[in-house]
Amino acid sequence: MEVKLDKWHKCKVDIEVLKELSKKSDIKGLQHISLFFGLLILTGTLAYLTWGTWWSVFWFLVYGNIYSFSNPLWHETGHKTAFQSKFLNEIFYYISSYMANFEPIRWGYTHFVHHGNTYSTENPFDHEIEYGNNLKETPKGLIINIIPFLDLIFFKKHISYEIIQHAFGVKTKVMEECIPEKAQAKVIFSSRIYVSIWLLIILWSIVTSSWMPLLYFLLPQFYGKTLHKLVAFTQHAGLARNIKDHRFSTREMYLNPILSFLYWKMEYHLTHHMFPTVPSYNLDKLHHYIKDQLPKPNNGLIDAYREIIPALIKQREDTSHFIKKDIPQLQNV
């Protein structure tokens, strides 16, 4: 990669347009939250009513795959853009953090680093890029992360294992590199709360001689992860590293309305990285203002994986390989 920048490139946007699109709304946030949790309640109820039949397996898979999209909810509330209300952002940040198996203190710090040093393998290291930064292991990591329950076999690679380590006071690499010394005790305390909740759910399941507590509140991220992982993996996969221009390192794509809703419009991921204070419900509008300054977006998941899979295969042999996007106005970078 020949292009190097001292500061992040940003596309040109009229300041009044940006101010308007940066406005947050409790109503829009509550509409989204209500429909999301409404779908969880509906599919969870259907799973309960059909318990003991194959229909229950089907409905739990639907429930789990919706549940796993708590990750975008964590992300949006972490940016404090889901709602105008600080209280609503805060309360749903902690709820969705638990649902996504993300310890909230740790991920608050690492997400800040991620935005300031996207896809960085240099200091500071971007600990948030999924499946680590070892390109030779990326295809294997993707397979582990999309097949239900497979990550239980490779549990040390799962984010839950890191929480257990922190609960026991182990200072992991991510803690030492991303979390200030003064905040590390909070990470340990929060991790212990998580582990305690997990143990209580396991005890509840044992006492009631039922799998249901586990299936509803502990295991969805293990059995219902496939769809979310396939969508989220597209964010940076196969793209350039260590460059301060999200047009090289971050993917923009279009999704159907159902996936777009579940994903909180994070398919406009390049736009989000350039303008992280813009609420997700305005990202599509902002995208259309700046799309002539962006690479051509991928048209859906299949189109995205048509370029991702060959790139992953090549990167196993040549870690310097990356997908070369057609960048408009490169002379102005």
Q: What is the pTM of this model?
A: 0.93
Angle between helices 301-317 and 138-146 (to 10 degrees): 140
Name the DSSP class of 295.
Answer: P
Q: What angle do CA 72, 75, 77 make, to 5 degrees?
A: 110
| Tens digits of residue pLDDT in 116-153 | 989 888 877 888 875 455 677 788 888 988 999 999 99
Q: How confident is residue 329, by pLDDT bands cut at 50, 70 and 90? A: low
| Tens digits of residue pLDDT in 219-244 | 999 999 999 999 999 999 999 999 99
Q: How far is Cα 327 from Cα 9, in angstroms, rounded to an integer? A: 12
CB count within 10 Å of CB 134 equals 11
Is residue 82 within 8 Å of 76, Cβ to Cβ? yes
Q: Which position has the token pair 């070369």?
A: 324
- Report the amino acid identity of residue 71: N
| Tens digits of residue pLDDT in 93-115 | 999 999 999 999 999 999 999 99
Q: What is the CA radius of gyration of the chain?
A: 20
Is residue 94 within 8 Å of 104, Cβ to Cβ? yes
- Which backbone phi and psi does 292 adopt, to 5 degrees? -75, -10
**CA-CA distances (angstroms) from residue 41 to 46, 52, 66, 214?**
9, 19, 10, 16
> Residue 197 forms beta bridges with which residues?
none
